[in-house]
Amino acid sequence: ARVLEQAKAAGEIDFDDAQLTARLVMAPIALSGMWQALFGKDKDAAVDLETLFRMHADNMRRALQPRRVRCTGQTLLA
């Protein structure tokens, strides 16, 4: 959560609650590890972790982008 707070203070990302956001960021990674441990030998349950993590990172970047509003031709943080 501390890293998220630092990024927010720098204007790099935006969110409402650092603790909950940290859980949202980490939960899919933890669940994927458990999934692999439980079902990794089952070919039907195979997961392309590289693609999954790339998609998750892309989604997190979009979701955490600072909100911006347009006002008299200038872009301002919301």
What is the full per-residue pLDDT of the chain (78 aa) written as tens digits? 999 999 999 999 999 999 999 999 999 999 998 998 899 888 888 888 899 999 999 999 999 999 875 566 666 555
pLDDT value at position 47?
84
Amino acid (one-letter) located at 16: D
Give the position of tokens 């990674």: 29
- What's the pTM? 0.71
pLDDT value at position 41?
87
CA quadruple 52, 54, 60, 62: dihedral positive or negative?
negative
| Residue 3 near residue 18, CB atoms below 8 Å | no
